[in-house]
Chain A
Amino acid sequence: MTAIDWSAERARAIIESHRSLRGALLPMLHALQEEFGYVDQAAVPLLAAALNLSQAEIHGVISFYHEFRQSRSGRHVVKVCVAEACQARGSDTLVEHLKRKLGLDLGQTGSDGAFTLEAVYCLGNCALGPSALVDDRLLGRLSPARLDGALA
């Protein structure tokens, strides 16, 4: 992850560059998260002002979607698939292995900031499971050993 530190000035520029879009809030939130790694609380009033919405409405949208993070993620984000097709191929074992190895529960970020571990429902790789998305890299046919190799 190449996220940079929060900057209100940079956030304003990002919001401004998406203002001409119709239904601009999701594209803005994606762009903010892409830049900073999460959507900072301080972005809420900026978004509300730009879109003429209440801060409550903005917060409602951010908190509705699993994808939007409200605090900084780890340097690497591991999203492991826990949906049915991967379960049929033994994703439970993989999840247990990951929890032990990273010392994290699903949805947690380590105190050293190295990893965030998240559950995801389906990555569209259902014939080659179990699968995980490590940052933006999709990995299939995962065994604990193969996953360790990818995280090393």
Chain B
Amino acid sequence: MSKPVTLYVPCDAAALSVGADTVAAAIAAEAEARRLPVQIIRNGSRGMLWLEPLVEVVTNQGRVAYGPVTPDQVAELFDAGFLDGQPHPLGHGLTEEIFYFKHQQRLTFARCGLTDPLSVADYRAHGGFAGLERALALSPAEIVAEVTQSGLRGRGGAGFPTGIKWNTVLNASAAEKFVCCNADEGDSGTFADRMIIEGDPFLLIEGMTIAALAVGARQGYVYLRSEYPHAVATLREAIRRAYEQDWLGTNIHGSGHDFHLEVRMGAGSYVCGEETAMLESLEGKRGMVRAKPPIPALQGLFGQPTIVNNVLTLTSVPVVLAKGAAFYRDFGAGRSHGTQPFQLAGNIQRGGLVELAFGVSLHDLIYRYGGGTASGRPLRAVQVGGPLGAYVPESMLSLSADYESMAEAGAMLGHGGIVVFDDSVRMARMARFAMDFCAVESCGKCTPCRIGSTRGREVLDKIVAGIDVADNMALLDDLCTVMADGSLCAMGGLTPLPVQSAIRHFPEDFA
């Protein structure tokens, strides 16, 4: 028997959604029939989602990519000699030479797709736990200082400086503190949290453990949405293995530090992505937003000082510790330091994940990486930052994707999701959808959000039907002002953003 050829077929949910399991099974069966020894490793996704299922074959030159592979093409791939990396119409050459992948700056997603997500040995072999090992040798204040100096800001959307938040928790005195990871990735057009949890779950465990060391917490929770059953299963298994190998639990690797971690599943509520609603939900209550102050850093979970960070914030921490604050800080633009995993979604030819330093233009992301619309029709609008983000017209795509530039342009980066629409989109309908979504998902605590969203939907229905358009547009404008100024949290406060940006940039759709 010759040495087995190693192949990678992703087990990421996006790859599974287009048949990765059946492709893996077809490859195994075909290899068996041809008596060719193969070893199939189920990796995370490389993030080139339009090529999924993306099969990689390990050759002397490196990993060679084929995709999107369907089960009925497997036999012809064998015929073409894909096990030796031979050309085929589905072939793309070396994975790491593909433009989309080659021209990324992967810090957070450095390992995603390279390794077996559930192998601690693989994680270690690719630099995993180096950040935690360094953190174990530092004092809490030194860890916080490193994170502060890196310029890392909250990747959930608000962009609050992570080091300042951690410092507040560190300096709070309490018998008990918590680290909570917000993995309630409800924004349409975003999937980076899911991808990193499924593709490199130990990275999140490492980041949360560092956070715990930094503030003296011994218990952590990951609030993960129930719409992500694969991510829940992967993370639970990764946590089990981390306990088994002494990376979680009491006295982690003889350091004298304890950290316990648990996955808690959400239950289909978008507003639970708001940090105080998430804490209520973790406590077993309705996901009702809390008034701030007190801030969660001082009175968070069960009333105790709590770090609440997004998945992408916590998974950026290990590289900050492993390579130092200065290394991380050097990436980015202006006051937006580091990298952002951008997610190209919707009507786009090459959808997927592109991690780059802040400051890349939306145009480059959508055209150089994304290849324009999938339908081939002209691009009309782009929604950046999820359902509460602004609609941006083609003429504004030269915008730099960083926190400040987006805010100046009346938009927001949010969690880095970019949803592309072609010219078939009807913007008044999208504006109505934004109000409808808010009406469905509002927690109901404050009136501007609870009632305003329903009135907003009604007013937009009248506008679309052509009833008293001028008067109703004035009414809608007034309503949006009340919601933006009077809502307790971003749910009601930002719903006017997609509505008013649609009106501002596409007035012809509201006439």
Q: Which A residues lie at the B interface, using CB under 8 A?
A: 22-27, 29-30, 51, 60-61, 64-68, 79, 83-89, 120-129, 131, 133, 136, 138-141
Contacts and interface: CB of A to CB of B under 8 A. Distances in A.
B284 A26 contact: yes
A66 B267 contact: yes
6 contacts: A23-B264, A64-B287, A67-B268, A128-B50, A138-B230, A140-B18
A121 B13 contact: no
B284 A85 contact: no
Given A84-B430, A88-B420, A89-B346, A125 B268 contact: no
Given A125-B17, A139-B17, A140-B14, A85 B189 contact: yes
A141 to B, nearest CB: 5
Contact of A127 (B285, B344, B422): B344
Nearest to A21: B262
A119 to B, nearest CB: 9
**B18, B440, B441 — most chain A CB neighbours (10 Å):** B18
Given A85-B345, A131-B17, A126 B189 contact: yes
Contact of A65 (B52, B267, B348, B374): B267
Mostly, the B contact residues are mixed
**B14, B50, B228 — most chain A CB neighbours (10 Å):** B14
B268 A66 contact: yes
B433 A87 contact: yes
**B190, B269, B284, B437 — most chain A CB neighbours (10 Å):** B284
Contact of A64 (B227, B286, B422, B437): B286
A88 B417 contact: no
Contacts of B448: none
B268 to A, nearest CB: 4
Interface of B: 13-14, 16-18, 49-50, 52, 185-191, 193-194, 226-231, 264-270, 281-287, 302, 343-348, 351-352, 374, 383, 387, 417, 419-422, 425, 430, 433, 437, 440-441, 443
Contact of B49 (A29, A61, A67, A127): A127
A123 B225 CA distance: 10
Contacts of B430: 84, 87
Nearest to B185: A124
Contact of A121 (B17, B226, B282, B437): B437
Given A68-B267, A84-B383, A120 B188 contact: no
Given A126-B346, A127-B348, 9 more contacts: A25-B284, A26-B281, A30-B265, A66-B269, A86-B188, A88-B421, A127-B14, A131-B17, A133-B229
A126 B188 contact: yes
Contact of A126 (B269, B270, B417): B417
Given A25-B285, A86-B188, A67 B17 contact: no
A127 B267 contact: no
Mostly, the A contact residues are loop
Given A124-B227, A125-B191, A127-B49, A138 B345 contact: no
A136 to B, nearest CB: 5
A122 B284 contact: no
B302 A22 contact: yes
A23 B268 contact: no
A121 B267 contact: no
Contacts of A61: 284-286
Contacts of B266: 65, 67
A84 B13 contact: no
Contacts of A25: 284-285
B17 to A, nearest CB: 3
A84 B267 contact: no
Contacts of A51: 284
Contacts of B351: 126-128
Nearest to A84: B188
Contact of A88 (B227, B264, B287, B425): B425
A125 B72 CA distance: 24
A22 B347 CA distance: 43
A126 B267 contact: no
